[in-house]
Structures are given as structure tokens and as C-alpha cells.
Copies of this chain bind each other. A is one copy, B any other.
Amino acid sequence: MLTGQQYKDSLKDGRKVYFQGELIEDLETVPALAAPLNEVASGYDKYFNADPDAINPVTMAPMSAADLRDRIPVITEMDLLTNTTYQSLMTLSVAAARLEAHVPEVVPRIRAYVEQARKDDIRITECITDAKGNRSLAPSKQEDPDSYVRVVERRPDGVVIRGAKLHISAAAFGHDLMVMPTKAMKPGEEDYSIAACIPANSPGVHMTNTTYHPTGRDPRDFPVSSHRSIPDSMVIFDDVFVPAERIFLDGQTAHAAVFAHSLGLWERLGGVSFMVEQADELVGLASLIAEANGTAKISHVREKIDEMMIHATLLRAGLEAALAHANSTPEGYFYPDDMYTNVTKYQGASQFNTMVKHLHDIAGGAVVTAPSMLDFDNPELRPYLEKYMSTGSTVSGEYRTKLFHAIRDTTADSFGGWHFVTNLQSGGGLFAQRLVTRKNYDLERARALALKAAGLSGA
């Protein structure tokens, strides 16, 4: 296993990482990149074990429903990159099992890769969403054939790929990029049916970065995003060679969706758990700021907090139902129920903005106008700010100001905006969750109930 420092050194591997238009040689020189780099490094140190045979236990599969439940606090605490690594390795393990009967030749490769990755303690990111071009057209019908990542050349020792993957969290900080198709492909789309794990420093790989990290601002004014920001990359594959042993699917259109489906099993526990925590955090912020404002007993404020608690509890019920109905793969790996996790994500995503509206309504305009902690540092200003931001002897000006900053940072600034968008879009978006519901809901039972009500049961 690697220490945090060894990890940081390992990224000085010639990778092409860009930020604000510049090629970045050393990630630590750019504050917005240094912050996540150090967070990932801390994760390495946290799990480090000097035993040469040690592997990180959090990358192993949950083998029972109880084990699955026990993962929740681990996953929600874990840095995002360790989480994507765990998800990726689990995805590959399940995909290998599913491909055994259909594409047996890739199975040993996948298994060897997984074993080696655990041994080398590397970090892996997930590259799914293609550039897509015109969304109403299929991959092979696009004006630009590279709108979806594809194989442009096949050589005896591997393939050359071209295209771009969007919205790739933490891409610049991982060792390998797990590239996989978004969905099942049709005959004629063989070149788009490519899955592989590609070193981030492969020639031809370029990674731009966007972030909500509050560079140049006082971290105390951004209490969450200043230390928990993860850049999103566009990962460009400009004719990148992939050696054969890293290719896990190539041309088997019917099986192109195996990887995304397998990933679905593993990503959702984290996603739903995070949503439940986020909903509880919003309740907490609303409760604290109402108390600090002296409005906690006003009827409409209490009712808004009630609604937020009901929302959070409903999401938790969804998570609990998903755990109570956990399923296992043929290999005995446990994952939460599809249907319940999906409706929970849908509900969480579609109601998030309303919950934030309640919080803003309760908190008041100081969410965006509370003075900076730098203003508090000014000895002339500080007494004024303490005096006028305080609402009584039990609520200091600084305490209340920090609550406003936390609310602004998480719901009314760059990081908040990122949540608005990604809550809606993650895991394929609301539409994808509808499709899963259509597929899983027991419609026949519902129709039988309706026929019975209509006196048509014998029909």
C-alpha cells in the first residue's frame, strides 16, 4: 500500500492536466487542485498498512446485508476517489462474472487487473458519459463519428481509441481511467463497444478541470467547499493506445451495457446515503439558524422545518427499504434494492430545490450578505460585527455568521449550484430513474387491483 506522499509522487507521471487553460505540471501548485490532492492523500494515510501483502479493506465486497449496512458510514466518510475506486473494482468483478458465459476471453484479464489494482493500491475513476453530440441521434449516426468514444484502429497488441468523456469526477487524481460505454449498442456500433482501464498518463490523454473550489477566498467563508472540493474533468482521448491486457470489451455490442449496469449496483448506495445525510444537514442548518435568529417558535418556521424533517425521513425510509430488500450477486456480493434506491434518488433530487427554498426562507438575506470572516479579523470592525450579528447573549455574532456561511456555501454559491445540477443529473438524471421505475414496478399487480375495483377481475 502507498502512503499519502507516495501517492502524490506517483501522480508526477507526465499526465496532461489543465486548469483555467494552463497545463499544470505539479498539481500542488494550484490551490484548487492541491486541496483535493491532499484530501486523497489523507485517505491513503488513513488506510495505510505497512504489511507488504496488505490491501485496502474498503475496496472489498460486502458479503452480507449487515455488511452492506455497515458500509454506509464508511462510504459517506471516505474521500470520493477511494469510493470510485471501490465502485470500479466491484463493477469489474461483477462484470467479469456476467461476461463469463458470453465473452469468456476477457474474464481472466479483468480478474488479473482487479487483483493487481488492489495490490498496487491505485485509484481508479469512472469514465462513462460521452460527448454525445446531438442527443437525438445514435452514436453511429452523428455528424462527428467521435462524439462517442470509439476504436479507431486495431493492432495486434491493443487498440487505439478516440473521443471524450464528460463530467469525470477526480479524473486528474486517479491512476487509471475506467472507460465504459453508456449503454447497450446496436449492430454496426462495434467500435463504440469498448471498455478498458487506461493509465491517466497515456500519451493522447488530456484532462481539463472545473471546480467549485473557492480559490482566493477565505476558507472560513466556504467551510465545506474549501476542503471538500473535487474537480470534474473532460477527459479527451486523442488516439490513445490501449494495450490488450487492459481491454475488457471490444466490439461485443450486446454486452456493452454490462459495465454501466454493474456500476449502477455499487454507486447507488453511496449516492442515496449522501442524499439522506444532505437532507439531514439541511434540517440541522434550518434548526440552528432559526434558533439563532430567534424565530424557532414561529409557526411557519416550525412547519417548514417539519416538512424538511418529513422529507429527510422519507428519504431515509427509502434507504432502509433498499437495505431491507438487499439482493446479492451470484458471487454473494450484496447490493441494495434497485427500485427503492431509484425512487429515493428521484425524490431526493426532485425535492432538493424546495428544501433549499425552505432553508433560505427561514434563514433570511444574511445568507448572502453576512460579512466575511476576514471582516471579523479587522480589529476595528470586529466589535461592530460581533454586536450586530449577535442576536442575544447566547448567540455570538461570529457563531451566527458562520452558520450563514455554511448555508451560503452549501446552497447559495458555487458549491450549492453544483449540488443543484448534479443532484438532478447524477446516475443518468431524473429520466433514467423513471426508466428504472418503469422496469421494476410491479405493474401487473397494480392493474389487477384496478380490474378488481372495476368489477373486471374475471375479464
A residues with a Cβ closer than 8 A to B are 18, 20-23, 129, 131-137, 142-144, 146-147, 163-164, 166-167, 206, 208, 210, 212, 215-216, 218, 220, 223-224, 232, 234, 236, 238, 277, 280-281, 283-285, 287-288, 293-295, 297-300, 302-303, 306, 309-310, 312-314, 316-318, 320-325, 339-340, 343-344, 346-347, 350, 353-354, 356-357, 360-361, 363-372, 374-378, 380-381, 384-385, 387-393, 399, 402-403, 405-406, 408, 410-414, 416-418, 420-422, 424-425, 429-431, 433-434, 437-438, 441-443, 445-451, 453-456, 459
> Quick check: A325 and B320 within 8 Å, CB to CB?
yes
Name the CB-closest residue of B to A16. B380
> Quick check: A392 and B18 within 8 Å, CB to CB?
no
Name the CB-closest residue of B to A284. B450
- Measured between beta carbons, the chain B residues less than 8 angstroms from A374 are 20-22
Task: Report Cα–Cα, A418/B416, bound state, in Å.
Answer: 11
- Measured between beta carbons, the chain B residues less than 8 angstroms from A443 are 283-284, 287, 309
Instruction: Looking at the assembled complex, report how far the CB atom of A293 sits from the nearest CB atom of chain B, in whole angstroms.
Output: 5
A-B contact pairs, 18 of them (CB 8 A): A21-B377, A131-B387, A164-B388, A223-B453, A283-B450, A284-B447, A284-B450, A300-B303, A313-B437, A314-B318, A317-B322, A360-B424, A365-B421, A405-B454, A406-B454, A408-B417, A408-B421, A412-B421
> Quick check: B133 and A391 within 8 Å, CB to CB?
yes
Partner of A450, one of B285, B299, B310: B285
Instruction: Looking at the assembled complex, report how far the CB atom of A81 sits from the nearest CB atom of chain B, in whole angstroms.
Output: 17
Task: Report Cα–Cα, A414/B415, bound state, in Å.
Answer: 9
Partner of A375, one of B18, B167, B324: B18
Name the CB-closest residue of B to A163. B388
> Quick check: B357 and A356 within 8 Å, CB to CB?
no
Partner of A210, one of B137, B317, B370, B448: B370
> Quick check: B324 and A360 within 8 Å, CB to CB?
no
> Quick check: B387 and A343 within 8 Å, CB to CB?
no
Task: Report Cα–Cα, A22/B192, bound state, in Å.
Answer: 56
Task: Report Cα–Cα, A455/B406, bound state, in Å.
Answer: 8
- Measured between beta carbons, the chain B residues less than 8 angstroms from A454 are 223, 285, 288, 402-403, 405-406
Q: If A206-B381, A283-B443, A361-B430 touch, does A438 touch B306 (CB 8 Å cutoff)?
A: yes
Instruction: Looking at the assembled complex, report how far the CB atom of A169 sits from the nearest CB atom of chain B, in whole angstroms.
Output: 9
5 additional contacts (CB under 8 A) given A234-B388, A413-B417: A238-B384, A280-B445, A284-B446, A317-B318, A317-B343
Which residue of A142, A164, A437 has the most chain B CB atoms within 10 A of its CB atom?
A: A437
Instruction: Looking at the assembled complex, report how far the CB atom of A123 sits from the nearest CB atom of chain B, in whole angstroms.
Output: 20
Task: Report Cα–Cα, A137/B392, bound state, in Å.
Answer: 11
Partner of A449, one of B22, B284, B306, B399: B284
Task: Report Cα–Cα, A381/B224, bound state, in Å.
Answer: 31
Partner of A416, one of B288, B388, B417: B417
Task: Report Cα–Cα, A18/B378, bound state, in Å.
Answer: 10
- Measured between beta carbons, the chain B residues less than 8 angstroms from A422 are 365, 368
Task: Report Cα–Cα, A380/B447, bound state, in Å.
Answer: 32
Partner of A303, one of B297, B368, B434: B434
- Measured between beta carbons, the chain B residues less than 8 angstroms from A302 are 438
Task: Report Cα–Cα, A134/B236, bound state, in Å.
Answer: 49
Task: Report Cα–Cα, A168/B330, bound state, in Å.
Answer: 53
Task: Report Cα–Cα, A229/B344, bound state, in Å.
Answer: 35
Instruction: Looking at the assembled complex, report how far the CB atom of A138 sits from the nearest CB atom of chain B, in whole angstroms.
Output: 12
